Amino acid sequence: MNFKTIGIVGLGYVGLPLALRFAEAGFKVLGFDIDPAKVSQINAGKSYIKHIGDAAVTLATQQGFSATADFSRADEADALIICVPTPLNQFREPDLSFVINTTESLLPFLRPGQLVSLESTTWPGTTDEELKPRIESRGFVIGKDIYLVFSPEREDPGNQNFTTRTIPKVIGGVTPQCLEAGIALYGKVIDKVVPVSSTRAAELTKLLENIHRAVNIGLVNEMKIIADKMGIDIFEVIRAASTKPFGFVPYYPGPGLGGHCIPIDPFYLTWKAREYGVHTRFIELAGEVNSAMPAWVIGKIAEALNERERSIKGSRILVLGIAYKKNVDDMRESPSVELMEMLQHKGAVIAYCDPWVPTFPKMRRYKFDLASVTLTPESLAAYDLVLIATNHDVFDYALVKQHSKLIVDTRGVYQESMPHIVRA
């Protein structure tokens, strides 16, 4: 197939890096997003994602990348790649509204010869059961008129060891012809393409990857609680176990799970599994353990303050790092923010420091009228407790250690034992 113009639908943490990669490879790229602010910034050569610099967006626009909120221009693209969110609803069930609404918006403007690729993480069967019938309702024959594939995103924001180009790309097609078209498209921009037998296999591949992480993090979080009761440093144990050259993969505990994948994706499979009469006990147990970690951290904070004859109520607490992982500005599902809400509910006076998040953003669930404070000897000394929730590399941990009255470390930043440092 002859792909000249690529349409990327959804210009977030997945769509924007993919658009930049296609532009870098010499394609004309048309980005679609319902957020006019993102469209304006892209067309001005500006980035709204901190770990993606303005220079990268400017270069891409010079290479033929532009953005629009006008979905009627979808017929200009030879391939349309859907990269929209797949969150959970209030009942912890899959919310496919972004995928469905995006597909419905594109339908009137599809034309024969186009490839449609879904990259959003979802339950096995989504491409076959939700996208395929909608496209066919317009009279298109899948595999002849429209080529339909599922190719899960594998972005890892902030990871300097891998790029969009170097992360292998799994692809499943509705028909063999669809798979062939998908390989032809992605093979031009990704170093290694991994074809699988169906879209369902590709969808389950993505879920397995993230459930693997969620379950192992749940295991190590439970081990952390056990180690704490026994007076053992779990991070020391992980470092020691990691010296085994086979049969062990290190996972690290924390204050809970965050991001757009690991806390959410397992529920897509547990929901779908019920249709087949399967109760995913192992996955759900890991979810329970991980979901309980913020409350466990609050307990450790209460104990640490109590030993100093203070309570959480009235204490000034500085939360260090509020993004969901180190060295990114992504706040989605961040356990740090859940901890802030829990502490505030218990009467603490909350502040935060996170250079990646200068002001607290608008969020659906949380609202704080706060801006990041600057770390100085004086500011640190003014707080009763400093909670290390996200271990950004930019923090001066020596400064924090020297001038803080009390530190609760959820990330294993400090290896040495000191009276004012509590591991949680």
pLDDT digits (tens, 9 = 90+) for 305-324: 999 999 999 999 999 999 99
pLDDT of residue 417: 83
pLDDT of residue 359: 95
pLDDT band at 289 (very low <50, low <70, confident <90, very high): very high
For 179, counting Cβ atoms within 10 Å of its Cβ (0-12 exposed, 13-18 middle, 19+ buried), the class is buried
How big is the chain by its Cα radius of gyration, in Å?
Answer: 23
- Whose tokens are 């993102």? That residue is 38
| Catalytic residue (one of 83, 178, 261, 353) | 261
Compute the Cα dihedral for 251, 255, 261, 267 and give only its sign.
positive
DSSP string, 211-277: HHHHHHHHHHHHHHHHHHHHT--HHHHHHHHTT-SSS-------SS--SSSTTTHHHHHHHHHHHTT
pLDDT of residue 51: 85
Average pLDDT of the residues in 288-296: 95
pLDDT of residue 25: 96
pLDDT of residue 360: 95
Average pLDDT of the residues in 169-174: 98
Question: Quick one: three-class SS letters along 98-117?
Answer: HHHHHHHHHHHHCCCCCEEE
Mean pLDDT (the chain, rounded): 95
Beta-bridged to residue 407, according to DSSP, are 386, 421
pLDDT of residue 402: 97
For the chain, give the percent of residues with pLDDT over 90.
87
pLDDT of residue 26: 95
What whole-number distance in Å separates Cα of residue 110 and Cα of residue 231? 62
Catalytic annotation present for 261: yes
Listed in sequence order, the residues at least 6 apart from 91 whose beta carbon sits closer than 8 Å to its beta carbon are none
Instruction: Kindly give the pairing relationship between strand 169-173 and strand 147-150.
Output: antiparallel
Residue 356 has pLDDT above 80, yes or no: yes
What whole-number distance in Å separates Cα of residue 311 and Cα of residue 304? 9
Compute the Cα dihedral for 333, 296, 215, 130 and give only its sign.
negative
- What single-letter amino acid sits at 411? R
Ordered structural domains, the chain, with CATH: 5-197 (3.40.50.720), 292-423 (3.40.50.720)
pLDDT of residue 8: 98
Cα three-residue angle 217-219-224, rounded to 5 degrees: 90
Residue 60 has pLDDT above 90, yes or no: yes
Of 417, 342, 422, which is closest to residue 387 (Cα–Cα)?
Answer: 422
Number of residues written out for the chain: 424
- Tokens at 27, concatenated: 């394609």
Residue 257 has pLDDT above 90, yes or no: no
Compute the Cα dihedral for 191, 197, 203, 204 and give only its sign.
negative
* Each residue's pLDDT tens digit, 130-165: 999 999 999 999 999 999 999 999 988 777 888 999
Average pLDDT of the residues in 62-88: 96
Element (H, E) at 133: helix 132-136
Q: 368-376 contacts: CB < 8 A, separation 24 or more?
A: 368/337, 368/340, 368/344, 373/318, 375/399, 375/400
Average pLDDT of the residues in 105-123: 97
Of 347, 345, 310, 340, which is closest to residue 323 (Cα–Cα)?
Answer: 340
Residue 261 has pLDDT above 80, yes or no: no
* Each residue's pLDDT tens digit, 213-247: 999 999 999 999 999 999 999 999 999 999 999 99
